[in-house]
């Protein structure tokens, strides 16, 4: 697989991506995203009408090894856990020729993926663990705090590795840590006020 044919990159501010794009015959289009190890990744895809081409979805890990292959003849889904940190590639390929079609034939694809907390189904978790609405929200907040903590540790690790080549990384990590702490403090404060109001309404306190 030659990743020099990578045609576009999606840069995200969050953990969820939804997009549509066109692909032609004998073409490959890839999206890549840096994802930390031990993260749940889920997604779905669908060919938009009119359906003229049937691209193949191939997912690669950071070592460029194939994780999954999916045919797109019908709407489908995928899910996997990452085993290492790095760039994961989602590639749609129409390199297999399809006869009786013009060379300039294109196919529109709807593609969505998410990872981390965004990929977790807390409704399903609540059912399996018999959690109430309040307990479910607390569980979600706990996971968010843990993810922020993991991000801070990861950022610090990268800062140590890059210190010799880029001293400016120190200040960036510092501001990132401060922002993360502020987010954590705000989340904790809101959680306290939410619980306080909830217990007052139920006349528990």
- Residue 88 forms beta bridges with which residues? 33
Answer yes or no: are the C-beta atoms of 77 and 44 closer than 8 Å.
yes
Q: What is the mean pLDDT of the chain?
A: 81
What per-residue confidence (pLDDT) applies to 169? 67
Answer yes or no: are the C-beta atoms of 141 and 58 closer than 8 Å.
no
Q: Work out the average pLDDT over 30-53.
A: 91
The pLDDT of residue 2 is above 50 = no
Answer yes or no: are the C-beta atoms of 19 and 111 closer than 8 Å.
yes
Range of lowest pLDDT (11-15, 45-49, 141-145): 11-15
What per-residue confidence (pLDDT) applies to 188? 85
Q: How far apart are CA 59 and CA 70, in angstroms?
A: 9
- Residue 57 forms beta bridges with which residues? 70, 92
Q: How far apart are CA 191 and CA 194, in angstroms?
A: 5
Model-level pTM? 0.62
What per-residue confidence (pLDDT) applies to 116? 85
pLDDT over 90 percentage in the chain: 31
């Amino acid at each position: 697989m030659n990743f020099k044919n990578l045609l576009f990159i999606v840069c995200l501010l969050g953990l969820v991506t939804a997009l549509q794009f066109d692909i032609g015959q004998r073409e490959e289009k890839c999206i890549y995203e840096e994802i930390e190890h031990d993260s749940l990744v889920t997604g779905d895809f669908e060919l938009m009408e009119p359906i003229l081409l049937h691209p193949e979805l191939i997912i690669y890990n950071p070592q460029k090894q194939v994780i999954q292959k999916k045919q797109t003849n019908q709407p489908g889904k995928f899910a996997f856990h990452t085993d290492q940190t790095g760039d994961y590639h989602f590639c749609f390929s129409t390199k297999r020729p399809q006869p009786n079609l013009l060379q300039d034939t294109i196919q529109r694809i709807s593609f969505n993926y998410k990872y981390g907390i965004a990929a977790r189904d807390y409704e399903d978790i609540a059912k399996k663990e018999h959690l109430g609405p309040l307990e479910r929200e607390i569980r979600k907040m706990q996971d968010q705090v843990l993810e922020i903590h993991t991000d801070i540790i990861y950022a610090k690790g990268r800062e140590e590795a890059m210190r010799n080549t880029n001293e400016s990384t120190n200040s960036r990590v510092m501001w990132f840590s401060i922002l993360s702490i502020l987010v954590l403090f705000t989340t904790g404060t809101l959680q306290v006020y939410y619980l306080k109001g909830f217990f007052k309404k139920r006349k528990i306190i």
